[in-house]
Structure 1
């Protein structure tokens, strides 16, 4: 991923660990058993993905809020309003069971990518931001899909 500073890239990739781990423990019974015995049942399968995904989607509202501070006037008001959407989405659309929560998180992360593109288009993000978000979002969606569709 050329042009993305190493720290955001490495931290972003590290942030994928719970999503990837959840998918792997969903697909592999032995790994799931080991994870449950070692870490506890909420740290395997879709459960770790759903809880962590809710946290990250909410966190990303704060990131967008930070980008909103780079503008003013009505555009700032629009950006602040858009920035709270991911956290509100999590609040209203999760908690209805693992499959519906997983689907709603997938929609939430896809919607977040649209917001990332809008903020990038408005030049409120670093130039490399959308490349990083595309990579991370694709992996998150694939991992969440394992728990939802398999």
Structure 2
């Protein structure tokens, strides 16, 4: 993790809070009750994870779009096309109940990681990008898996 610049690493880890909080409130009933009392039911358990996960997949579409601007020709066209997939996935695949939606978000985040790898191989990302994305994706998937199995 030393190779990842401090600001992206800290901000990326802070961005995990809704996923970790959601998983914690799925596992600990007292924590869920406390969260529901002070934050409201929308900000606990799978609800916070699913809404925030959809937002983050859409955000990742924007990040990938930005990387595509560094390319030209067919590579740029391919990059732009691929960059919209995470947002479309989030839009179409997060219905159908918490367990199914969480599973589809897991697939979405793993898919984004594959897109990250492609953009990295094309030389469009910073050299530390895959280390950051692998770390963050592993934590997100683990947190969403708690919702799937609950």
RMSD: 0.5
Residue deviations 1:120-150 (CA, integer Å, cap 9, x gap): 0111000000000000000000000000112
**1:1-80 aligned within 5 A:** 1-80=1-80
Q: 1: distance between equivalents of 2:91 and 2:78?
A: 20
Residue deviations 1:96-138 (CA, integer Å, cap 9, x gap): 2111110100000000000000000111000000000000000
Q: 2: distance between equivalents of 1:26 and 1:45?
A: 5
Residue deviations 1:15-71 (CA, integer Å, cap 9, x gap): 000000000011001100000000000100111000000000011000000000001
1:85 is aligned to 2:85: yes
Q: 2: distance between equivalents of 1:38 and 1:65?
A: 37
Aligned to 2:145: 145
**TM-score, structure 1 length as denominator?**
0.99
Q: 1: distance between equivalents of 2:112 and 2:71?
A: 19
**TM-score, structure 2 length as denominator?**
0.99
Structure 1: gaps spanning 5 or more residues: none
Structure 2: gaps spanning 5 or more residues: none
Deviation at 1:84, TM superposition (A): 0.4
Aligned to 2:135: 135
